[in-house]
Amino acid sequence: MKTHDGVPLGSWVRRFLLEHLVVERNLSRNTQRSYRDTLRLLIPFAADRHRTAVDRLVVTEVSADVVRGFLRHVEERRGCGVRTRNQRLAAIHALATFVGERCRELIPWCGEVRAVPFKRYDRPSLCYLDKPEIDALLAAPDRTTEQGRRDHGVLLFLYNTGARASEAAAVSIRDLDVRSDGSGSVRLVGKGGKTRHCPLWPTTMTSLLALTSGRSPDEPVFRNRRRMPVTRFVVHATVTRYVTDAAIVCPSLAKKTISPHVIRHTTATQLLRAGVDINTIRAWLDHASIDTTNV
């Protein structure tokens, strides 16, 4: 009779990816892909170490020593940084926990794998934009053109809401709620499918209404030249492109690496400076823990 530690790893991986991450934990698509990609790298590495086929690999063959070797491979051969190395290890820890909780015979294996430590590193200081810098960025697009008006709307939306790039890309016209005074709010879908409503300034609503006038509620607010929804990569590229132009007016921008997440930091910082309660900011930005907001 086959013991639990002789069961092929593949059966556990399938349950972990399809049942645990999706159904039980409802993790975001990006997190699911990150965990999947880690296992796509780990399993062939472990199979090569044991000189066996990937479909014949058993759980205990992915030992703590193999995991350490894999992490060295990630850093030295693949050229990844410590943060990526730690992300890969977090996925492996999650798989070990999943297996250990469901199979008592594999608890010792789980403990050994989870004992592989994360590597410490110096976290970069939190970057955000001061008021003159964000003003210069917002003024950079040429609003006499259709693309310029869209890009200005993207930048203003990110600054107003503190939305993630993926959240901004996914906003549809039906998610906008316009009030009689010209202001409004937007429904955002964050990590794990959680929804929240963020208030919108009258200037933001004016910009978005001009972009969406005469269009169906099912259409995306921000779309490309082919009238398809923009992707989070387009949102990121939009920010990067206009930083170069804005740096001519505001040279301090050239010294910073600007991304949609930096604009998110800017929103949080300026809300805090305006006296907004930290718990309100946490809800505004969809942070799972207030410790993240405190950073």
Question: Mind telling me the catalytic residues?
Answer: 164, 191, 261, 264
The pairing of beta strand 195-200 with beta strand 176-178: unpaired
The full DSSP string for 185-220 is EEEEE-GGG-EEEEEE-HHHHHHHHHHHTT--TTSB
Query: Which backbone phi and psi does 172 adopt, to 5 degrees?
Result: -110, 165
- DSSP count for the chain of H helices, then E strands: 13, 3
Cβ atoms of 188 and 198 within 8 Å: the answer is yes
Query: Which backbone phi and psi does 200 adopt, to 5 degrees?
Result: -120, 135
Closest CA relative to residue 188, chosen from 224, 218, 163, 212: 163
Residue 279 CB partners (closer than 8 Å, separation 6+) = 290
Closest CA relative to residue 162, chosen from 132, 136, 188, 126: 188
AA letter at 117: P
CA angle 213–208–232, rounded 5-degree value: 115
Cβ atoms of 116 and 64 within 8 Å: the answer is yes
In Å, how far from its chain's centre is CA 236? 12
Cβ atoms of 158 and 168 within 8 Å: the answer is yes
